[in-house]
Amino acid sequence: MSNLLKAKVGLKHKTIIYIWITLVILGILFYLSYPTSFSPINISNFLKRFDSYMIVIYIILCMLRGFTLIPGTPFVVAGAILFPTHPFLMLFISVSCMLFSSIILYFFSEFLGFDNFFKNKYPEKIEVIKNKLDGVKGVFFIALWAAFPLAPTDLVCYVAGVIRLNLKILLLGIFFGELPICAFYIFTYKLITL
Asked if residue 62 belongs to a domain, the reply is yes
| pLDDT exceeds 80 at position 160 | yes
| pLDDT exceeds 70 at position 21 | yes
Asked if residue 158 belongs to a domain, the reply is yes
Asked if residue 12 belongs to a domain, the reply is no
- DSSP structural state of residue 38: G
Region 105-133 average pLDDT? 81
Backbone CA torsion sign across 189, 66, 167, 100: positive
**pLDDT band at residue 76, thresholds of 50, 70 and 90?**
very high
Mean pLDDT, the chain, whole residue set: 86
Asked if residue 73 belongs to a domain, the reply is yes
Give the CA dihedral 183, 158, 105, 60, nearest 10 degrees: 40
**pLDDT band at residue 91, thresholds of 50, 70 and 90?**
very high
Could you give the CA distance from residue 107 to residue 104 in angstroms, rounded to a whole number? 5
Among 172, 148, 176, 178, which Cα is nearest to 160's?
Answer: 172
- Amino acid identity, position 178: E
Write out the residue range of the structural domain in which residue 170 sits: 34-193
Asked if residue 150 belongs to a domain, the reply is yes
